[in-house]
Structure formats: C-alpha cells, structure tokens
C-alpha cells in the first residue's frame, strides 16, 4: 500500500490526460472534508467542511481547510459538489465563497437549502444547481453523475466524475441501511453499473472501516426511545446534531405517541428543523411542536426539548444547562438523551457534560448505557460488499483518522484491489491518476486555518501555544526602567504575576538576580532594549524553573529614560 513520505516535495506539472486529486481536509481526521479534482487545467471541488476544535486549541471556534494551493486559481473552479448537509462537509463553504462568491454550488434539495440558510447569515447569495440521484451534469470538463446513498441525513449523494483520464467515484458519507426511515436506499444497482463501466479510482468513506459486520438499521432505535419516554417522569431533553433529521423524526414520533409537546432549542436546531419540515423531510403532526417560550404553561411530563450539544461543545445548549448557565434549569428527575456517537477527541468534553447533568439529578441516557444511536457510516462488512460490487481499479480511503484509512485500504486489498493501488494519503498529499494508475506524486500546503471570532487565519500554532501556556502556567510581568545610554537600572524591577501559583512575596528572591544580570550586561556595554528584555526573561525563567518546576509566560517590559 502506498503512503506519504515526509520527504515529499511540490507536485510536478500534471501530465496531459491525467487526473489529479488533492485532499485538503478529511484525511487523518474526522472533519473539514474537502477534495479538489483537476483535469485539463480546470478544478472541481467535492465538499468544503469544517473541523471542530479540541481542548488544546483554546479560543478557536472552527478549523477550516487551507485554501492556499487554490487561492490563485479560483477562476479555474467550475463548481463545488456538496455530498450532503453536515457541517464537516458544508461548513467551510461561506469562507471559500468570501474569496469568490460566484463559484457554483451543486447538491441535493435539502443540502442546498441548509447551505443557503448558512450563507444568508454571511450575506452571500450563491449560484446553485439542484441535482438528484440518477442525474448527470456537465460541470466544465467533468461529467458528473449523482447516486443516492443512505446516511444520517436525508438527500445524501455520491458523485461519479467522468473525465478522459478515467472515472473517479467519491462516495461522500454512506452506509447500507436496508430499512431506512425515508425508504431511500444506497443505490447498489447504480454502483454496480458504474463498476461494470469501470471505476478507475474510488474514494471511499473510512469512518467505520475498523468496525466488523453491518451497521444496525436506524429504526432499531425507535423501541429504545419509546421505552425511555414511557419511563420518564418529568421533562425529556434530547441532544442531537442539528442536521440529524432521521433521529429527530423518531423523537417526534415518540413524543406524539406519549402525548408530549416538543420545543426546539438553539438557533441552528430551530433553523434546520424548520427547513426540513418546510421541504417535507420532517413529518410533524399538527400542534406537536411549540415555541420554547410556551413551556411554562405545560406540566413537566408533557415536555420534550430538542437541543444541540451532544458532543460537549462548550457554548451549545446542553453544556450550558449542565453548567447552570442556561434559561432551562436541569432538576431532579429530568431525563436527558444524548442521541449521537462520540466523535474522536470529544470524549472528555461529553463526559464532563454527563457528569454535570447527573450532578443536578438528571437521568442521562447515552450510547454507553442504551441503544440510542446507530452510526451513519458503513462498517467493514458493508465496505467489503461495496467493493465487490464496484470492483475499483484504484482505491483511495477518505474521511477518517489514520487507523480508519489503513483499515479501509486493507479491506480493499482483500477484495482484489492490488495493494500498490490502495493509496493511503493525507491532507495535502497529491495523487495523480495517469494511464489508469493512481500514485502519490507530491504534497501541497494543507495546514489548519483557525477561525476565532471574526478572525480567519490570524491565529497561528505559536499563538495557540501561548494561549495554552497562559491557561496552564500563568503569566509573570517584569517592569524595568533603564538608562538609555548606559543600560543601568534606574527603576524597578517590579514584578506582577497572574495564574502562576507563586506568591508575590516570593519574587523578592529573584530581584537581586535580575539586578546582578543587568549590572553585568551594562558593564559589558549592552544597552539595547530587546537584549535587556531577553536577559530579564532568562533570569526570571531560570529562577522559576529551578524553584517551582514551572514554565509560565514571562513578559519583560523595558522602559528607557
């Protein structure tokens, strides 16, 4: 199996008649999915999503793909195909359209409705092309055919991209639920036809490649939810992704059966469920959904709240309820259902929320103690079945961490894909398909781009390191006034500390060390403020390290007179 090497350099010019594939996100991680296809000097993008930050990225709101390698080629982009409406596939679109707002967006009805609502907040009016399964569209030199796939959101599509270099098929996210709530199956006959025609490169969802067997049907959750509703004595609060229409449908059905009213909490949940209802993807019995403001008029055993926060996001409704920072107060006897899986990296945040809810007396039902979630991604058994149908000549695992990508490549090899044609890449690694053979040819920049408030890309790894130090070790400020000519101290040093855990009185021990160091530097003729700052930083840093085994941020301020 081919895989990237650290010595990879920039890719060579794409050979005439070749197809280039550049993943800019989604490989080696769960999120910010984005893949660029190039043929004949033109570009087609599949998905443009976001990644959500982890604890070691304090202050960051979102993480975007790096657009650097396409920034000077925006006019070459013929369109952005969106496979489905999840944030990790569409959340980065507003930031790309800020750079060129007329790039066409191609997707299904629900996917486009969700992204249009998001773009409205950014005051961008996109050019869109609505497609459905079975439809073929010419997008520049790319002949695209759209295929229905089943996922945890309605209207998901895979895309087959035909070019003179061969056919590439991108599955998007998919599974093979044989009893889907909306009756829309993954179209295996269509994939079989593509396989007979000849799939030269298959880019396939890897998320559950390590999980044996088949994913249970979504409707299996229904019985568990009904039992939870039957047992609940007071309010029921359900946390789910704001786009998981199938899961919310089952919550609505259970609420209707047990005589409860439902209120949506949170802007994204209210917006997305409104869109799904208006387009007919969510069936809502008359009078079932009420405004959250009317809940005070209803008894607790007739209330269901549906909110975001199933991943422990600090600003989401459920986290704020757990922290007693929300208008809805958790009380003894409330039932809270976390109707989702744990995205890797979110475990600590989710268990922190579960503990907070339990502290206030809630009965918390989650995947660990009840079957309230099934995955939206194909397991190993489904992937084997899928590869035997598609018979790809080359396989490129996408959408997953390294362990998922490798497991997926091994499944492909088991079904007959030659091992040297199972291409394990990572973000930024360039794969060229020439004469029917896919191989790694180079690497482009594909780092993290951080969104912090209104700032996009201004936060660097260095500044995140500073934030972590400030949060973990605190800060020590040292003020010194020196003679601008001689460099001798004429005032100070004055020391202030915040969050370092060191008492102010203790700093009297380091002041003679600072004075001694600066006296020596002055006698050596050092008077330049930056050099004096470095001396102060080293003197204080060594003392703190020797005395306390700590490494706070040290901020020396030198004033010349």
Q: Is 243 annotated as a binding residue?
A: yes
The answer to whether residue 205 is catalytic is yes
- How much is the pTM? 0.83
Q: Is 404 annotated as a binding residue?
A: no
d(CA 310, CA 335): 14
Q: Is 89 annotated as a binding residue?
A: yes
Q: Which candidate in 66, 187, 200, 205 is catalytic?
A: 205
Look up tokens 């972590």; give the residue.
Answer: 468
Q: Is 375 annotated as a binding residue?
A: yes
Let me know: does 322 contact 288? Beta carbons within 8 Å. Answer: no
pLDDT of the chain, 561 residues: tens digit per residue: 545 567 788 999 999 999 999 999 999 988 899 999 999 999 999 999 998 776 666 667 788 999 999 999 999 999 999 999 998 999 999 999 999 999 999 999 999 999 999 899 889 999 999 999 999 999 999 999 999 999 989 999 999 999 999 999 999 999 999 999 889 999 999 999 999 999 999 999 999 999 999 999 988 888 889 999 999 999 999 988 888 888 899 999 999 999 999 999 888 889 999 999 999 999 999 989 998 888 888 898 999 999 887 666 666 778 888 888 888 888 899 999 988 776 666 677 788 888 888 999 899 998 878 888 888 999 999 999 999 999 999 999 999 999 999 999 999 999 999 999 999 999 999 999 999 999 999 999 988 888 776 667 667 777 777 666 666 677 888 888 877 777 677 777 888 877 777 777 788 888 888 888 877 877 777 667 778 788 888 888 888 888 877 778 888 888 877
Q: Is 246 annotated as a binding residue?
A: no
Relative orientation angle of helices 267-278 and 109-121, to the nearest 10 degrees: 140
CB atoms within 10 A of CB 387: 23
Query: Could you tell me the domains of the chain?
Result: 19-213+375-452 (3.60.15.10), 218-365 (3.40.50.10710), 461-560 (3.10.20.580)
Q: Is 463 annotated as a binding residue?
A: no
Look up tokens 């000097």; give the residue.
Answer: 41
- Residues 182-209 as b/e (b if ≥16 CB within 10 A, e otherwise) read eebebbbebbeebbeeebbbbbbbbbbb
The answer to whether residue 377 is catalytic is yes
Strands 157-163 and 19-25, sheet pairing:
unpaired
Contacts of residue 374, defined as CB under 8 A and 6 or more positions apart, other chains included, come to 215, 216, 217, 218, 220, 221
d(CA 140, CA 161): 11
Let me know: does 351 contact 368? Beta carbons within 8 Å. Answer: no
Q: Is 374 annotated as a binding residue?
A: yes
Q: Which candidate in 246, 366, 377, 404 is catalytic?
A: 377
Sign, CA torsion 233/239/245/247 = negative
């Amino acid at each position: 199996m081919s895989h990237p090497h650290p010595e990879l350099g920039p890719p060579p010019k794409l050979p005439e008649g070749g197809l280039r594939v550049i993943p800019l996100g989604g490989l080696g991680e769960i999120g910010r999915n984005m893949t660029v296809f190039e043929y004949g000097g033109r570009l087609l993008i599949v998905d443009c999503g976001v990644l959500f930050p982890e604890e070691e990225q304090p202050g960051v709101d979102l993480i975007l793909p790096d657009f650097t390698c396409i920034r000077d080629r925006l006019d070459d982009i013929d369109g952005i195909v969106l496979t489905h409406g999840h944030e990790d596939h569409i959340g980065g679109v507003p930031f790309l359209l800020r750079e060129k707002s007329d790039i066409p967006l191609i997707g299904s009805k629900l996917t486009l409705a969700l992204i249009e609502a998001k773009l409205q907040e950014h005051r961008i009016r996109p050019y869109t092309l609505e497609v459905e399964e079975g439809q073929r569209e010419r997008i520049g030199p790319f002949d695209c055919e759209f295929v229905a796939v089943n996922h945890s959101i309605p209207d998901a599509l895979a895309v087959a991209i035909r070019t003179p270099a061969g056919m590439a098929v991108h599955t998007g996210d998919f599974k093979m639920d044989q009893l889907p709530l909306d009756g829309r199956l993954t179209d295996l006959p269509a994939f079989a036809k593509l396989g007979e025609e000849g799939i030269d490169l298959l880019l396939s969802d890897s998320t559950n490649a390590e999980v044996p067997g088949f994913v249970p049907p979504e409707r299996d959750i229904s019985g568990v939810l009904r039992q939870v509703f039957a047992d609940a004595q007071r309010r029921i609060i359900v946390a789910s992704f704001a786009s998981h229409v199938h899961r919310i449908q089952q919550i609505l059905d259970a609420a209707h059966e047990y005589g409860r009213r439902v209120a949506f909490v949170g802007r994204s949940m209210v917006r997305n469920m409104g869109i799904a209802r208006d387009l007919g993807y969510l069936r809502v019995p008359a009078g079932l959904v009420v405004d959250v403001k009317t809940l005070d008029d209803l008894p607790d055993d007739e209330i269901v709240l549906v909110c975001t926060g199933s991943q422990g996001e600090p600003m989401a409704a459920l986290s704020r309820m757990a922290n007693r920072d929300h208008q809805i107060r958790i009380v003894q006897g409330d039932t809270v259902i976390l109707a989702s899986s744990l995205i890797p990296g979110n475990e600590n945040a989710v268990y922190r929320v579960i503990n907070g809810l339990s502290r206030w007396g809630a009965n918390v039902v989650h995947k660990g103690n009840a079957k309230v979630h099934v995955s939206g991604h194909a397991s190993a058994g489904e992937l084997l079945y899928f590869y035997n149908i598609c018979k790809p000549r080359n396989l490129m695992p996408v959408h997953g961490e390294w362990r998922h990508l490798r497991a997926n490549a091994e499944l492909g090899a088991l079904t007959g894909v030659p091992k040297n044609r199972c291409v394990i890449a990572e973000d930024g690694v360039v794969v060229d398909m020439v004469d029917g053979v896919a191989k790694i040819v180079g690497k482009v920049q594909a780092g993290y781009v951080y969104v912090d408030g209104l700032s996009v890309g201004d936060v660097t790894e260095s500044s995140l390191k500073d934030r972590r130090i400030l949060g973990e070790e605190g800060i020590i400020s040292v003020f010194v006034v020196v003679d601008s000519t001689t460099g001798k101290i004429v005032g100070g040093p004055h020391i202030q500390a915040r969050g370092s855990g060191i008492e102010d009185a203790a700093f009297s021990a380091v002041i003679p060390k600072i004075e001694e160091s600066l006296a020596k530097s002055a006698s050596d003729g050092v008077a330049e403020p930056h050099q004096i700052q470095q001396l102060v930083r080293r003197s204080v840093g060594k003392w703190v390290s020797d005395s306390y085994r700590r490494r706070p941020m040290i901020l020396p301020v030198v004033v010349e007179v």
